[in-house]
Amino acid sequence: MKFSLTILGSSSAVPTASRNTTAHVLNVHERFFLIDCGEGTQMQFRRFRIRFGRVHQIFISHLHSDHILGLFGYLATQTLIGRKKEIEIFGPPDLEKFVRNHFSLFPESLLLPIVFHSLDQSGVFKIFEDKAVEVISFPVKHRIPTWGFLFREKLMGTNNLLNEPRTFAYCTDTIFDPGLATVFAGCDLLYHEATYGQKELNRAVSTAHSTARQAAELALLAGAKKLVIGHFSARYKDIAILLDEAREIFPETIEATDGLTIDIPPRLPSKF
Amino acid sequence: MKFSLTILGSSSAVPTASRNTTAHVLNVHERFFLIDCGEGTQMQFRRFRIRFGRVHQIFISHLHSDHILGLFGYLATQTLIGRKKEIEIFGPPDLEKFVRNHFSLFPESLLLPIVFHSLDQSGVFKIFEDKAVEVISFPVKHRIPTWGFLFREKLMGTNNLLNEPRTFAYCTDTIFDPGLATVFAGCDLLYHEATYGQKELNRAVSTAHSTARQAAELALLAGAKKLVIGHFSARYKDIAILLDEAREIFPETIEATDGLTIDIPPRLPSKF
């Protein structure tokens, strides 16, 4: 039973030759969830051989260009390849207006049914549930309303009695916020933005982003099993320094790279 | 004195793992002109090591997604990297409204001055001129108002007395239109869409696109020196069949591939 995250874009606002802007696909038991959708997401699906048809839910953290510009092409291509099945999009309240407004110029490009769900900043909410997973949204602190997402596996049936549900927490874009640790305590994988190194701490604070070290501190506070850092500023040609700063605090840190898949193996109950 | 075309995207509406949607850069004496701007254009600039700062004019053929979706990210990145210099955009009358409307959600992402110039369908017009080049727009026949562009080198000064001006004609998206041959008669390089092979002629006609063979026929009629075909339907895994069909009619045909640069060497006057 798969539980894996594939990175489609690991750069922050400005893409580089090797890093697209933010997008991820989470595979839970062969159900695929698209999380953020930066420019070029549809090309990354092709490059990394992920089938569009497998995604039925999209989660958008906030309305900054580098997290949403890929939506238009992604959705237009679904229509072009003949998709008829509904897509659900969970995102900020203005997202629906923004997407529909864009397509008003190309009405023939958006023929598939889309159901938009507005996220709510006032607390932590379960926003989606199916046979395999439940998804919880929680507010994070950025320059505009922004949400993180917690994906929690659901295990049913006798075959799975020996396993414990796996969890994945997604936090970007956000200032360092230790209060989040309780929201995803004990998660198996935490994706946390690490736009800057510690030398740029002031810039991180003033732009409401985090440093790699802060991402690691949050992973430690939350008791996460593994941390993947991404959303790197284009100023870093080499991410080694960010990775070192994070690993000093939290050794189980991985660098996001475009195309990387992180598999979370099933975990046994603690009594074993 | 350079006169070269670099292909940034050679697919039609649906990108593939190796072909982005339409975008091109023409280099005339180290002045760079961006022609169409499909999704991912800014990433292609990075990949093929073209500097954003060199482009001051953008030409947009028509308002279909695969020719304009890259504009938002391309322009936002200019602001992020601190560009202050004006950009001129030549395109369909609705383009300005479309771009400004998009950025009304992200006003901080578009701080550079943009001057929009509306194209005119009623004839053939010189729309731009600088020291190195003049650009002519002409209407082509597609499902919505669409324009082609002719770039004509300007040669001044004694050093260039032995050369003749080079010309590049750009035609996409368009149905086969032999009437265009006179507009760019004798051009050094013709880019013409070849969305389909001859087997799909009916589909080409019904969608107002061209076949590879028709692109070659137009190159022949116009007396072009060289033809590059692109805007290929994603249905063709291998372009060999399109290239063969074109070369039967016009042997000097090249296949557009992402990253390809076609150099047009200076030509001597015919009396030599």
What lies within 8 Å, CB to CB, of B135 at 6+ separation is B33, B57, B59, B90, B126, B127, B128, B129, B149, B150, B151, B152
Rounded distance between C-alpha atoms, residue A200 and residue B159, angstroms? 52
What lies within 8 Å, CB to CB, of A268 at 6+ separation is A162, A163, A164
User: Contact B77/A15, CB-based, under 8 Å?
Assistant: yes
User: Contact B73/A65, CB-based, under 8 Å?
Assistant: yes
Residue A268 has a pLDDT of 72
User: Contact A42/B13, CB-based, under 8 Å?
Assistant: no
Q: Let me know: does A145 contact B105? Beta carbons within 8 Å.
A: no
Using only the alpha carbons of chain A, give its radius of gyration. Answer: 18
CA distances from A38 to A63, B72, B73 (A): 11, 12, 9
A66 catalytic? Reply is: yes
Segment (H or E) for B229? strand B226-230
The nearest CA of chain B is from the CA of A199 a distance in Å of 20
Residue A156 has a pLDDT of 72
The nearest CA of chain B is from the CA of A142 a distance in Å of 15
Residue A108 has a pLDDT of 87
Q: B30 exposed, middle or buried (CB, 10 Å; 0-12, 13-18, 19+)?
A: exposed
User: Contact A47/B94, CB-based, under 8 Å?
Assistant: no
A17 touches chain B (CB under 8 A): yes
At A213 the three-state DSSP class reads: helix
Q: What is the mean pLDDT of chain A?
A: 95
From the options 3.90.78.10, 3.60.15.10, 3.90.550.10, 3.40.50.300, give the CATH code of A1-122: 3.60.15.10
What residues of chain B lie within 8 A of the CB of A14, using their CB? 77, 80-81
Q: Let me know: does A218 contact A180? Beta carbons within 8 Å.
A: yes
What residues of chain B lie within 8 A of the CB of A66, using their CB? 73
Reported ipTM: the value is 0.92
Query: Which among A40, A46, A98 has CB closest to B17?
Result: A46
Q: A258 exposed, middle or buried (CB, 10 Å; 0-12, 13-18, 19+)?
A: buried
Number of A/B CB contacts below 8 angstroms equals: 83
Rounded distance between C-alpha atoms, residue B66 and residue A143, angstroms? 31
For chain A, which residues make up each domain, given as ranges?
Answer: 1-122
From the options 3.40.30.10, 1.10.10.10, 3.60.15.10, 3.30.70.141, give the CATH code of B3-263: 3.60.15.10
From first to last of the 272 residues of chain B, give the pLDDT tens digit.
Answer: 899 999 999 999 999 999 999 999 999 999 999 999 999 999 999 999 999 989 999 999 999 999 999 999 999 999 999 999 999 999 999 999 999 999 998 888 899 999 999 999 999 999 999 999 999 999 999 999 999 999 999 987 645 556 699 999 999 999 999 999 999 999 999 999 999 999 999 999 999 999 999 999 999 999 999 999 999 999 999 999 999 999 999 999 999 999 999 999 987 766 55
* Sole residue written with tokens 């324009």: B147
For residue A183, which amino acid is it? Answer: V
Query: Which among A21, A46, A98 has CB closest to B105?
Result: A98
End-to-end CA distance of chain A: 20
pLDDT-flagged residues of chain A (< 70): 157-163, 269-272
What residues of chain A lie within 8 A of the CB of B64, using their CB? 106
A76, closest residue in chain B (CA to CA): B65
Among the listed residues B36, B66, B188, B258, the single catalytic one is B66
Query: Which among B16, B66, B98 has CB closest to A105?
Result: B98
> What does pTM read for this prediction?
0.94
What residues of chain A lie within 8 A of the CB of B20, using their CB? 43
At B159 the three-state DSSP class reads: helix
CB contacts under 8 A, B 139-178 vs A, are none
Report pLDDT digits (tens) over A103-141.
998 888 899 999 999 999 999 999 999 999 999 999 999
